[in-house]
Amino acid sequence: MQQRTGVVFRAIVFSLTALMIGFAFVHSLMSAADSTVESEGTLGFLNAFFHSLGIPLEMTDNVIRKIAHFSEFTVIGGLLLSCAYSFDRFKPYRYSFAVLFTGLFTAVTDEFIQLFSDGRSGQITDVLLDFSGVVTGTLIMLLFYFVYIKLKCKRDKKNGKHKGS
């Protein structure tokens, strides 16, 4: 039963990772005009939301775009680390190089795609921003899994189970 759960978990995280990377790539394929319309809609919503809370914060289109890039790549980094966790539930950090390389490759590919989108350009600064998101997501999930593993081992030890059981 534990093997099946591992397979299900792996299938879910690999699927979510592929979907999230696809989401990023689809947005990079959007023309500059379509991307601006989408960003302006989000900008209007967020500015209205902050004003309704009495927070005098006025965001710009550029800030929204950068937050979106960083956020989606933070999620990608977390998902990539979860893929590593699916291979080694006690030492997912062993795959850190592969996770970070895949995240960097995804960020470079995302910006490369924009070179072929109408009115868009690939920016090295965006690659760095995207990769910073990957690193952040990876670190967040490493911390999460570290705490989870410690708590699980403590619980299993208390209940008389061993790591190999």
Buried/exposed code over 89-109 (b: 16+ C-beta within 10 A; e: otherwise): eeebbebeeebbebbbebbee
Give the range with max mean pLDDT: 60-69, 89-98, 110-119: 110-119
Q: What is the Cα–Cα distance from 78 to 141, expressed in whole angstroms? A: 5
Position 97 scores a pLDDT of: 96
- Residue range 107-128, pLDDT digits in tens: 999 999 999 999 998 999 999 9
- Cα separation, 91 vs 25, in Å, equals 30
Mean pLDDT for the stretch of residues 82-110: 93
- Do residues 100 and 78 make contact, with C-beta atoms less than 8 angstroms apart? no
Backbone angles phi, psi at 156, to 5 degrees: -65, -40
Task: Find, among 70, 59, 78, the residue nearest to 16 by Cα.
Answer: 78
Whole-angstrom Cα distance, residue 60 to residue 94?
40
pLDDT of 165: 47
pLDDT at 154: 84
Q: Which of 13-17, 118-122, 128-132 shows the lowest mean pLDDT across its residues?
A: 118-122
Whole-number pLDDT of residue 162 = 58
Domain boundaries, the chain: 2-158
44 vs 46: CA distance, rounded Å: 6
What angle separates helix 32-52 from helix 61-87, to the nearest 10 degrees? 100
Residue 24, both tokens: 């990023």
| Model confidence at 80: pLDDT above 60 | yes
CA dihedral in degrees (89, 90, 93, 99; nearest 10)?
Answer: -10
Residue 153 confidence (pLDDT): 80
The whole-chain average pLDDT of the chain stands at 89
Residue-wise pLDDT tens digits, 39-52:
888 888 888 888 89
pTM for this predicted structure? 0.85
Percentage of residues of the chain with pLDDT beyond 70: 94
Torsion on CA atoms 77, 79, 84, 88, rounded to nearest 10:
130
